[in-house]
Amino acid sequence: MTEMEKLKKQLGEQYRFGMIMSLSDVKIILENNNNKFYSDMVVFSLLVGCVGIEATIMDRCLRPKKPNQTSEKLLLFYNPDSIVTDLFIRYDVIIKAKQADGQWCSYEPLETEVNLDVKDMEQEMFRILYYFAQDQGLSFTEYNDSENPRREYD
């Protein structure tokens, strides 16, 4: 029995995987760079007891399209159409923290590249989360310590 199967059995309903859209749909969004609707959207999430991982489409500003003398002098006149952006996807680890009374808190964004060319996204996310949790000493079954939880989730 794999570690994923063991934790699924042990945690029951506390083990949840969700996909808002298919892998192929996420690839199309990233290729088309359609940032008007999809920036900051969690497209895959895996909650394993008290530790979780989310794959989120993010938007990063690359550069202004054209130099704009007004915007260079005053940020007050920000024009969103003058910015070129690029969509990418990243993993964020979340935990249930003692300091937040068991609420979900942001723990750390990961540098690990999100591989969308996998057969099983749940298995891929579990693999990354499992090794990260081991490395950081995080518990799947008990609330974790976090000196600075970054953000609470509902």
Model pLDDT for residues 118-148, shown as the tens digit of each residue: 999 999 999 999 999 999 999 999 888 765 4
User: pLDDT tens across 54-72, in order?
Assistant: 999 988 765 544 444 444 4
pLDDT of amino acid 147: 57
Angle at 45 between CA 143 and CA 90, to 5 degrees: 105
Task: Domain count for the chain, please give it.
Answer: 1
Q: Is residue 150 part of a domain?
A: no
* Element containing residue 87 per DSSP (H, E): strand 83-96
Q: Is residue 71 part of a domain?
A: yes
Grade residue 43 by pLDDT with cuts at 50, 70 and 90: very high
Q: Is residue 142 part of a domain?
A: no
* Element containing residue 124 per DSSP (H, E): helix 121-136
pLDDT of amino acid 51: 94
- In what order do the strands lie in the sheet containing 104-109? 15-19, 41-48, 51-64, 83-96, 104-109
Q: Is residue 141 part of a domain?
A: no
Q: Is residue 149 part of a domain?
A: no
